[in-house]
A and B are shown apart, each in its own frame.
Chain A
Amino acid sequence: MPAVWLLRLIFLAWFTLLFAMLFTTSSLSYANTAFAATPETGSITSTETITETSSVAKVNSVLISNNSPIQTKWSTGETLGKNPSVYFHAWGGDPQINSYIQWLAKRVKQEYNIDLQHVKLTDTSEAVSRVLAEKSANNHQQGQVDLVWINGENFASMAKYQLLAQGWVAQLPNFWLTNPKENEAMTRDFGLPTQGMEAPWGQASLTFYYTPSINVNKPKSTYQDSIRHAPKNISQLLTWAEQNPGRFTYPKPPDFLSLSFLKYALITLNQHQPAPVKSGLYQAVTKQSQATLLPILWTFLDKLHPYLWHQGRYFVASGTALQRLVGDGEINLGFTFSAAQVPAAVERYNLPQNTRSFVMQDGSLSNIHFIAIPYNAANSDAAKVVANFMLSVEAQAKKQQAKIWGDSTVLDVSQLSQQEQLLFSIEQQHPSALPVSSKITALSEPHPSWSILLTREWLKRYGAQ
């Protein structure tokens, strides 16, 4: 019978343990945070050892030799505590960007012993919702979002409800490498002043990509040949769509890329208007500016929609879904904000080999994307250390490499040392990448209120058919 007894005891011990777990969630939370935070060490059982052996990270180890004016202030920062974790909430739909963030995590672990956790969002607004939920529940100190990748409407929204920590950006030594005094764009997000609530991380402009329908492999055909039949401006886009029905579409608002397309159309369609009228785009929407600027967009879309994929009765959810349609050969023309994604997708077989990137001749919407720290972040000090590292020459140069991510740096490269400048030089070009020689006419982002208006009006017109 001893075996039976043993079984009974194990059984009893097992469910007592489970019951105990149920009632003492709080006491176990410590161990669990450690558990959740140790993917790299890979050991579940030895949570205690991990926390004990972890060394103390100090902010002053961040100090990098540069001539930033606030160096002294930064270096006197206090200790970060044991083994700090930073939960970085960032869109997780792109494997390339995800692995870049993994590289960041590896580096900040090495340098500062910080556990950087990438919380992969399908939409950045999820993080906004979370902080909002925390605020409504009076959780003002222990927020789960430490760092968030953000810009545009999400930033405007968080700023409006005061969900972001203020004035921390200027404390980052590396922020000064962006040369913010000369480069006003670094402190403006879609026209709104950032007020030290977010640090620039990268910049991008709207890039189109095109796959000729008939796939005859002509290796000798030049770049210009390959994109000869692609539309080059907004009016050609309409003609092209009419000639190739069902071969183009754009995502549904309020998707970020969708709004970018609508804003591109809005700006270029109003190109002929007098300057005072056009300037309405960069100010909060008024009844008057709405009445003068919007109708031409709706006329355009009314003409365009019948020739879209699925006759404009279904719109894909995101830019990545758009890319998949091009990859499947269902449409021939797509667009993106991360131009480097195109050659990378070709390399991973997700886009056909004959894909070519180009920018519209009548202009290309450009913007900067940022990182912000919520007002209630539990690990805001460590988050600042991470943010500072993300702005370092090393991290920015790595990010700009086409094979890594291909996201343009926000640093003022001309101010760097020659050796550092070399890090940003361009390697050999992929045939599907946007040629370096492309002439980009940057179009600035309209005021964020236009995005909200466009979304609402679009949904009213086309959201229910």
Chain B
Amino acid sequence: MSHKLTSNSLNNRPLKDETKLLDTLFSTVVKFSPKLLIAILILPVLGGLLGVLLPAFGWLPALDRTQFGLQGFQQLVQTPGIAQMIGLSFFSSIVSGLLAFVITLLLLANYFDSPWLARIQRLLGPILVIPHAAAAIAIAFLITPSGMIARLLSPWLTGWQSPTDWLLPHDPYGISIILGLTLKELPFLLLMTLGAIAQPELNIKLQAQYRVALSLGYYPITAFFKAVLPNIYPLMRLPMLAILAYASASVEMPLILGPNTPPTLAVAIMNWFHDVDLSLRIKASSGAILQLFITLSVLFTWWLLEKLTQAISSKSLSNGQRTYGDLFWSKIINIFTLLLIGFIALALIGMVFWSFAGYWQFPLALPEQWVIMHWQSALLQVQTPILNSLSIGLVATSIALILTLLTLEFEKQNGAQLSRFSSVIIYLPLMIPSIAFLFGLVWLQEAVHSKATFINVALAHLLFVLPYVFLSLATSYRLLDSRYAQVAASLGASPIKIFLQLSLPQLLMPIMMASALGLAISFSQYLPTLLVGGGRLNTVTTEAVSLANGASRRTSAVYALIQMLLPAIAFSLIWLISMRKKRQKAQVKLNNKTASYITKVNR
């Protein structure tokens, strides 16, 4: 190679050949990246599944069980309350998913084409980055008998001098779980949907069609449901399924908000895996397989609901009805939105209060003293976890981003989207409950004696970061007007030049959004960090969850707030950049067309 370069420099044409070299390298990397992406996603998940499948059928050499059998499933069936566990997992996920979906639609419908949509997005955005555990703690504090709501209403309304014993949270019907999951999933769904429809070309089309519907006399909410929703639902489907899959198998939320006589299946599995009675491992593995089927049936139910709704509503789309009590609904949604934001604000304020609270007796709405000792002692201990969170997050997000961009570039260069198989694989870690494969993954890691804790954890995070980054970038990349690239190519630009100087700058905002999302997802990972890292790598989240189970609401409030601050910094950086870009654009526009006037011309 060096020889080649020298001869080239003799020819005084170094640039061109270096370009060639880069181009070859680039095209090789691009060609290779989809395969790498698939491998990174599929190997750990399948390996992990194998790692629970074998014990599920009785094969666990460490316990001297080397015969295949169904005793794990038999034990599972005999578990007291197993039907309740399954029912709780199933219904809490379906109902919370449905609620999040409906609320997202109502918000979109009521505030589509209104500045309030962006404001609500900004208000709800921070919820997205609050880890589930922290959100659950905040919500628990609101609805608990000694919580903020009870404090605000006592004693003047309720007459309670000490907390009354009502059943929220931890109610046996899963209402608290549903509340927590809905609140946590709503911002995700909303943000994903807004991200998808923010793509310029699609956005212009949607806005125009919405206006057409308005000009045809449709009231705004009806116009959204009849003219816009059918076009954006396909973009919402995957995030929706991801939400449902997550909800059906999540551990943190039901652990903190849910009942425990019995708990949800996922929590029970987690307990069995951690039980001192090691033979419960077999039952736990069988449970993980059962969990897989529950998640699948939740997804299948959603698909059925989707088809059913389609069948029922297809006629009414064009029946000409302009309003279904739009004005009434609009008022309801306004009030609901206020309540929602108030609820969230109250939860956040509650957390801030706790983090500075001295003694705080019921029913006082404000702490009796304000102290900073909780922050002081936390800040002394939190530096290493913060560094760990940041470095894991950055590595996982960078890899995810690069792989995603290269894979999408591969798609574009080959003019075809990934095969159906591959696109399903990308969402595999989102659809398969992590509790079903993470334990197996740890076992797999042990089997290969992998000791690179940091890399292992970062790769485990990558499993969860990659789908989200892909999800948030793919739409934008695929909708990128390919004519720019064609024009550039016709002007003699190499693929790498087009990629770096054309595609990437055009996608700057989506890339930034995806990075922030990736970081946020990585920051909030609990199970993967704990299990894969073997507890050796403490992140802010693992610290927060272990303290959430601890005795001090005040300390866990501090950690939850620190957890929120980390991704908030990432998101505000992006917000600042986007504001600057907007201002620059506005400046240019203003300079270009200052004023115009009319001259009347008579024919």
Contact = CB atoms under 8 A, between A and B. Distances in A.
Interface of A: 4, 7-8, 11-12, 14-15, 18-19, 21-22, 25-26, 28-29, 32-33, 35-36, 39, 42, 44, 87, 89, 92-95, 98, 102, 117, 119-123, 125-126, 128-130, 132-139, 142, 144, 153-154, 156-157, 161, 213, 215, 245-246, 252, 254, 309-311, 313-315, 317-318, 320-321, 323-324, 327-330, 341, 345, 348-350, 352-353, 452, 455, 459-460, 462-465
A42 B380 CA distance: 13
Interface string B231-268: 00000000000000000000000010001111000000
19 contacts: A8-B496, A15-B29, A15-B402, A21-B455, A120-B535, A122-B546, A126-B530, A132-B63, A135-B62, A144-B534, A215-B361, A313-B172, A313-B259, A329-B163, A349-B357, A349-B358, A350-B552, A350-B553, A462-B261
Given A348-B554, A459-B80, A119 B167 contact: no
Contacts, number: 235
Interface in B439-476: 442-443, 446-447, 449-456, 459
A379 to B, nearest CB: 12
Given A93-B551, A120-B546, A349-B554, A18 B398 contact: yes
B62 A161 contact: yes
Contacts of A14: 398, 402
B359 interface: yes
Interface stretch (B314-322, B369-377, B562-570): B369-377
A328 B450 contact: no
A161 B549 contact: no
Nearest to A154: B276
B84 A134 contact: no
B144 interface: yes
Name, among A21, A128, A135, A323, the residue most crowded by chain B CB atoms within 10 Å (CB to CB).
Answer: A21
Nearest to B40: A22
Interface of B: 22, 25, 29, 36, 40, 60-63, 80-81, 84, 144-146, 162-163, 165, 167, 170, 172, 255, 259-262, 271, 273-278, 281, 357-362, 369, 371, 373-374, 377, 381, 383-384, 387, 391, 395, 398-399, 402, 442-443, 446-447, 449-456, 459, 496, 500-501, 530, 534-538, 542-543, 545-547, 549-555
A21 B36 CA distance: 13
Given A21-B455, A93-B551, A315 B62 contact: no
Contact of A153 (B273, B276, B383, B543): B276
A139 B446 contact: yes
B523 to A, nearest CB: 18
A42 to B, nearest CB: 7
Contact of B170 (A95, A310, A341): A310
Contacts of A353: 359
A36 B80 contact: no
Nearest to A1: B15
Nearest to A42: B383
A324 B63 CA distance: 38
B536 A315 contact: no
Given A44-B387, A130-B534, A320 B550 contact: yes
A185 to B, nearest CB: 22
A95 B455 contact: no
A29 B451 contact: yes
A330 B275 contact: no
Nearest to A378: B451
A320 B165 contact: no
B537 A36 contact: yes
Contacts of A345: 551-552
Nearest to A40: B384
Contacts of B362: 328-329
Contacts of B384: 39, 42
A161 B64 CA distance: 10
Contacts of A122: 545-546, 549
A320 B546 CA distance: 11
Given A11-B500, A120-B535, A329-B162, A142 B555 contact: no
Contact of A460 (B80, B278, B398, B402): B80
A171 to B, nearest CB: 27
B359 A349 contact: yes
Contacts of A130: 442, 534
A309 B165 contact: yes
The interface residues of chain A, by DSSP majority, are classed as: helix
A353 B361 CA distance: 10
Contact of B373 (A89, A154, A321, A348): A348
Nearest to B453: A36
B22 A12 contact: yes
Given A4-B501, A136-B61, A318-B549, A128 B276 contact: yes
Given A39-B387, A94-B551, A133-B442, 15 more contacts: A8-B22, A25-B452, A42-B384, A44-B387, A93-B550, A120-B542, A252-B261, A254-B271, A310-B165, A314-B172, A318-B549, A341-B551, A345-B552, A348-B373, A460-B80
A134 B446 contact: yes
Given A95-B552, A330-B163, A317 B255 contact: yes
B453 A327 contact: no
B355 to A, nearest CB: 12
A292 B545 CA distance: 42
B371 A349 contact: yes
A160 to B, nearest CB: 8
Residue among B36, B255, B276, B452 with most chain A CB within 10 A: B276
A138 B447 contact: yes
What are the 3 A-B residue pairs with the smallest beta carbon separation, nearest first? A464-B81, A136-B62, A137-B446
A105 B450 CA distance: 26
Contacts of B383: 39, 42
Nearest to A27: B452
A44 B547 CA distance: 26
Nearest to A15: B402
B549 A313 contact: no
Contacts of B554: 348-350
Contact of B551 (A128, A132, A350, A455): A350
A142 B357 CA distance: 45
A465 B261 contact: yes
A323 B551 contact: yes
Nearest to A22: B399
Contacts of B551: 93-94, 320-321, 323-324, 327, 341, 345, 350
A87 B162 contact: no
B66 to A, nearest CB: 11
B351 to A, nearest CB: 15
A252 B454 CA distance: 35
Given A12-B25, A462-B261, A465-B261, A33 B453 contact: yes
